[in-house]
Chains A and B, each alone.
Chain A
Amino acid sequence: MKKFALNTVILAFCCAMIPAAFSAEEVVCFESRKGASEVTKRDLQPGLPNVKCSPKTGAVLWWGDPFDGTVPLGDTPLLGHIPHGKAVVKPRSEQLAILPMCGTACHNGVGPAFVPPTLPKGKKPVPIPTMEGLLPDAQNLQHGRGGIWCLDCHHATQRNKLVDNFGDPVSFDEPQRLCGKCHGDKLRDWRDGIHGKRIGEWASTGKKRWFVCTECHNPHNVQDGARNRGFMQVAPETPPQLPKGMKNMNHERVHGVSQH
């Protein structure tokens, strides 16, 4: 009886260990803001990881290969001088998992109520539980402070696309063609590399991965939390090590700069 019990215990122990051995911990970190452009850490070559992540905040600190997972940037006005393949982006379309469904399952521009396709009267979004669940921060859209609404940016019938002023679809991978309509000065600076972010080669003719607008900015939520200057607050990394002999650096705050 005792031997049986012992064996059972050992077996149970081993069974408990097996799933633990199999579920290797996956490290996922975010490139700019939490919730956007997340990357799973893996080895490109032995000893060369694709990213190094911050243990404190979960942000990407370092790219092993800046072009990992990128595709060439599509045709953008005023970027025609860049040879094909020198400007790459990380595609977003694939990550918007439900995107293919948007155009087929619900909004295909076809159906008895949609011949010809009409827009809701009053240009106000109708609260539908599905949409509310999908996009909570689009309620009471503050982008433009009440000056724009959903279909100003999203295509009315091809809901897996954005739209430009001519009614032509714009891919989610090239939001700059849409954002730049109103934010022209930012587009001009972004095109020249002054606004926004590019990683890769520093030469002006070098290959760069461009970060598109939505990788850093969330157009549905421009007023989130204690927002400061268009970019959401993030947790900072750890401060420098205390110099020798100093117990703390509280004297730095004697000005009253930091009130917390």
Chain B
Amino acid sequence: MQKLMSFAPDYILYILKGGIKFYAWLGFLAIFIAFALYGFYLQNTEGLIVTGLTSQIHDGLYFANLVFLVGVAAGAVTIVFPAYVYHHKAMHEVTVLGEMLAMTAVIMVMLFVFAHMGRPDRLWHMIPYLGIYNMPGSMLAWDVLVLNVYLMLNMVCGFYFLYVKYSGGEINKKFFMPLIYISIVWALSIHTVTAFLISTLPARPMWHHSMMPIRFIMTAFAAGPCLIILVFLIIRKNTKLWIQDEAINLLSLIITWCLGIALFLTLSEIVVELYARTEHANGLYYLMFGLHGLTKLVPWFWGSLIAMLIAFVMFLIPSLRTNYKLLPIACVLGFGGIWVEKGMGLVVPGFIPTPIGEVTEYYPTMIEIMMTLGCWAIGFFILTLLLKGAIGILLGEVKYTGVKTGKSNITSGGKAAAYEAR
């Protein structure tokens, strides 16, 4: 009990001790967070008219980002799965970092949901018994369920692991392993359900095909690990935690396969839709070549395709894949390419044209862009804090020593363990 009581204060105290770089980074993020808060305020007073949304294109940046981030959250399974099912030693050491990322990503999804909804103040309408919860009919209801459970699974698994490490105990496998296995399967389910959200709508022919869940999972397992590799490389550089090469190489391998399959699926979609060039292909045609002279998204599509192709080639060639100077470039290209492909390449063209054929374009406003950046900033803020705490515990710098006062539980005062200037 004593251990439990001092876990949170020790954790928080450790997080708060940081160097200049650390606080500079948080300060930088805080600027964007302020924008996000202002944006939330505007949207809840003036309404969504401050965004570029219309009745024709009514899901824009917010929905695109939330779909993408569900994928990133699911991508954390690429760490958990090898670690616990294949007993990959290197991965095993850093699993909890993956869980922290998953948690952050789900929190970001929820932020974007708040930004996306017309009336976030009425979300209580979804709570069963207080309101009406449309199960099993509504895919959105399923999505809410799976996301919340995934968040809870990761919180329980992640913090339990950290607490056990902190208190120097043994993990209770009977309690822990079932949760881990469930979370592995659940990670697949969150992105599948999100894919079902849009692929079960015959009104949107661009989305209405069975390939959507596969495509989501593949791009998730490519984008998620890209971000994870980047985070790992940053952790290597700025903290004392050394993440093994094997872990990073395994992630690169996973990215290679998944990015390859995702590109193959893109090719498949292009061939199938454009071979017969029916009116159902209008959304894809708009994306690739423009419709009636409206070509706003065409450069985004081709840019993301080229980025993904270059990333794929870089990942494919082992000498490039294991070159840790080039790996970040490949990761950024992969992550960015998939982000564009999900956002501009999937969500927005689904509404162009409308189901009755009206062709309009989407022009996100500055407020919308700042809100999006702000929500990402909140995510990175949380991620930074969570990772810092997790790393501290993994390194053994936050350990329960049986003494009441919290400060002595932190062996090296935050500076050494924090993001130091080299």
Contacts and interface: CB of A to CB of B under 8 A. Distances in A.
Q: A–B direct touch, CB within 8 Å, in complex?
A: yes
Contacts of A243: 54-57, 360
A243 B291 CA distance: 17
Contacts of B54: 243-245
A254 B361 contact: no
Contacts of A251: 291-294, 359
B293 A245 contact: no
A244 B57 CA distance: 10
Contacts of A244: 52-54, 363
A254 B52 contact: no
A26 interface: no
B419 interface: no
B217 to A, nearest CB: 33
A245 B361 contact: yes
B362 interface: yes
Interface string A226-250: 0000000000000000011110000
Contacts of A252: 292, 358-359
Interface in A203-260: 243-246, 251-252, 254
A246 B291 CA distance: 14
A193 to B, nearest CB: 28
Given A243-B56, A244-B52, A244-B54, A254 B363 contact: no
A90 to B, nearest CB: 37
A256 to B, nearest CB: 11
Nearest to B294: A251
Interface in B337-367: 358-363
A252 B292 CA distance: 7
Contacts of B53: 244
Contact of A245 (B358, B359, B362): B362
A115 B78 CA distance: 109
21 contacts: A243-B54, A243-B55, A243-B56, A243-B57, A243-B360, A244-B52, A244-B53, A244-B54, A244-B363, A245-B52, A245-B54, A245-B360, A245-B361, A245-B363, A246-B360, A246-B361, A251-B291, A251-B293, A251-B294, A252-B292, A252-B358
| A-B CB proximity, top 8 nearest | A245-B363, A251-B292, A254-B292, A243-B54, A243-B360, A244-B54, A243-B56, A251-B293
Given A243-B56, A252-B292, 12 more contacts: A243-B54, A243-B360, A244-B52, A244-B54, A244-B363, A245-B360, A245-B361, A246-B360, A251-B292, A251-B359, A252-B358, A252-B359
